[in-house]
Structure 1
Amino acid sequence: MYFNRKRSDVRLDMISRDEQGEIAHKSMTSRTHERLSNAIITARFRPGEKLKIEALTDEFDASLGAVREALARLTSEGLVSARPQRGFFVALISRRDLIDLTETRIEIEQTCLASSITHGDLTWEGRVLSIGHQLSKLSVGLHDRGGNDSNEWHKYHQRFHEEITAACANSWWLKLRQQLFIQSERYRRLSGPLNENGRDIDAEHRAIMESVLARDITTARALLA
């Protein structure tokens, strides 16, 4: 009986170690995906640039498997293209793609926003107000910096758009919105400073927040266009 118990204990320990290894691999893959995605969005890797797996394993301190899985995910998300016998490359950009992307993103985000305004509760309103206030504080002085917004501003800007649409009742719309927003962010980062056309970024986002909190769907949709 003692021997059987020990064998059972060893088997459970082995299963536990296997599960821990799988969790660690998934964590490494997710971390690698996030860091590589950010590097592409921020244009550290330029459109058309080849992504060498061996170099990425060193740069991101990740295994070959984690890098390959991250590249596969980014390919499905449209940030990376896989070319037979040639490897992985940062997806190319074009004026036509930007026009199509912008049109689709606006339509999907407007749909998500309308649903979110309809279904959002008081807790959601509080989160919108909080993130809107934080984004506004970071936006102050953006014009003085020549539109050279920091990575922190980008983080809160993304969170702002996530939060105002968070109460949307359709999970597939939200998934599409997120993917389209990331693609748009890549184009925006490549386009240059935010205030190059004299835009008041802070005023734009405050107006969106106020219309959302006022439950004014028509105005909120128009401001996103």
Structure 2
Amino acid sequence: MARPESGSLTAEAYARIRAEILACRLAPGQKLIISDLCEEFEFSLGAVREALARLTSEGLVVSEPRKGFRVAPITEAELRDITRVRATIESLCLENAINNGDLRWETNIVATEFELSRLSLQDPADPARVSEAWAEVHKRFHEALVAACDSPWLLRLRELLFIQSERYRRVSVPLDRAKRDLVSEHREIADAAVSRDVEKATAAIRAHLERTTRILIESDVVKAHEG
């Protein structure tokens, strides 16, 4: 059997470690021992090193001189900053998409919102964690909202901010069920978007993002995870 190319191995290592970080299975602030990662995920030393370097450039991993790598910590200051910038970029992308979207764009929003509403947020095997099925459809729903945006740079910035905020959202999962109605929040955004109501849709997306931040700050969950 042909041996996979090194680039492919690095991509696989990157995807696997990134997924573990976003799911908080590799916890904020956790030291990353390269040899342990190689053993656990069965990747070569080179592939893991390159994957960590890529994750460092994305801000998900921190490289410390003479200390190695660590999962980037989460902080209240960063959470506030990410939320403020993300709300602005998401609103710009959504406004652009509403102005450019067609019937297929509308249909995809409605379909993904419905699919998301039928899934459980929490993992049945571990209610303190997000269901991976829910997380995947949630990502597709937010992508569907902005799919008609015709600005590649806005979409790139949006993707980066979505990734950075994902760990914070996952930390909030134990609080979501008691303090908010995510199904209604997503439906409000979807309905406003397909109705071509820019003002209502952008206000709804801002409120949606800011609510997660407010819940986390009020509960002191972020302070408990700060590295």
TM above 0.5: yes
Q: Which residue of 2 aligns with 1:42?
A: 23
Does structure 2 retain, via aligned residues, the 8 Å contact 1:132–1:160? yes
2:161 aligned with 1:166, yes or no?
no
2:205 aligned with 1:224, yes or no?
yes
Q: Which has the larger radius of gyration?
A: 1
Q: Which residue of 1 aligns with 2:67?
A: 86
Distance (whole Å) between structure 1 residues aligned to residue 64 and residue 170 of structure 2: 25
The two structures, once aligned, show a CA RMSD in angstroms of 2.3
Shift of the 140–177 alpha-carbon distance from structure 1 to 2, 3 Å rule, reads closer
Letter in structure 2 aligned against 1:104: V
Give 3-state SS (helix, strand or coil) of 2:49's partner: helix
**Alpha-carbon offset, residue 44 of structure 1:** 1.1
Q: Which residue of 2 aligns with 1:7?
A: none
Shift of the 138–177 alpha-carbon distance from structure 1 to 2, 3 Å rule, reads same
Does structure 2 retain, via aligned residues, the 8 Å contact 1:147–1:195? no
Distance (whole Å) between structure 1 residues aligned to residue 30 and residue 129 of structure 2: 24
5+ residue gaps, structure 1: 1-19
5+ residue gaps, structure 2: 207-227
**Alpha-carbon offset, residue 215 of structure 1:** 1.1
Q: Which residue of 1 aligns with 2:8?
A: 27
Distance (whole Å) between structure 2 residues aligned to residue 66 and residue 217 of structure 1: 45
Letter in structure 1 aligned against 2:18: S
Give 3-state SS (helix, strand or coil) of 2:70's partner: strand
Give 3-state SS (helix, strand or coil) of 2:5's partner: helix
Does structure 1 retain, via aligned residues, the 8 Å contact 2:89–2:154? yes
2:108 aligned with 1:122, yes or no?
no
Q: Which residue of 1 aligns with 2:55?
A: 74
Does structure 2 retain, via aligned residues, the 8 Å contact 1:139–1:202? no
Give 3-state SS (helix, strand or coil) of 1:193's partner: helix
Judge which range, 93-102 or 59-68, deviates more. Answer: 59-68
Letter in structure 2 aligned against 1:138: L
2:171 aligned with 1:187, yes or no?
no
Distance (whole Å) between structure 2 residues aligned to residue 126 and residue 75 of structure 1: 37
Structure 1 residues 144-163: Cα deviation after superposition (integer angstroms, max 9, x where no partner): x9786412111111111111
Does structure 1 retain, via aligned residues, the 8 Å contact 2:22–2:166? yes
**Alpha-carbon offset, residue 26 of structure 1:** 2.3
Shift of the 147–220 alpha-carbon distance from structure 1 to 2, 3 Å rule, reads farther
Does structure 1 retain, via aligned residues, the 8 Å contact 2:122–2:173? no
Greater relative contact order (CA < 8 Å, ≥ 6 in sequence): 2
Q: How many residues align?
A: 203
Does structure 1 retain, via aligned residues, the 8 Å contact 2:121–2:134? no
Does structure 2 retain, via aligned residues, the 8 Å contact 1:148–1:194? no
Distance (whole Å) between structure 2 residues aligned to residue 153 and residue 147 of structure 1: 14
**Alpha-carbon offset, residue 95 of structure 1:** 0.8
Normalised to the residue count of structure 1, the TM-score between the two structures is 0.82
Shift of the 188–170 alpha-carbon distance from structure 1 to 2, 3 Å rule, reads same
Give 3-state SS (helix, strand or coil) of 2:28's partner: coil
Does structure 1 retain, via aligned residues, the 8 Å contact 2:192–2:200? yes
Shift of the 224–194 alpha-carbon distance from structure 1 to 2, 3 Å rule, reads farther
Does structure 2 retain, via aligned residues, the 8 Å contact 1:47–1:90? yes
Q: Which residue of 2 aligns with 1:58?
A: 39
Task: Give runs of aligned pairs for residues 141-220 of structure 1, distance below 5 A.
Answer: 149-220=130-201
Letter in structure 1 aligned against 2:103: L
Letter in structure 2 aligned against 1:62: F
Q: Which residue of 1 aligns with 2:217?
A: none
**Alpha-carbon offset, residue 209 of structure 1:** 0.8
Distance (whole Å) between structure 2 residues aligned to residue 192 and residue 136 of structure 1: 16
Shift of the 104–157 alpha-carbon distance from structure 1 to 2, 3 Å rule, reads same
Structure 1 residues 185-211: Cα deviation after superposition (integer angstroms, max 9, x where no partner): 101212342535531111110111111
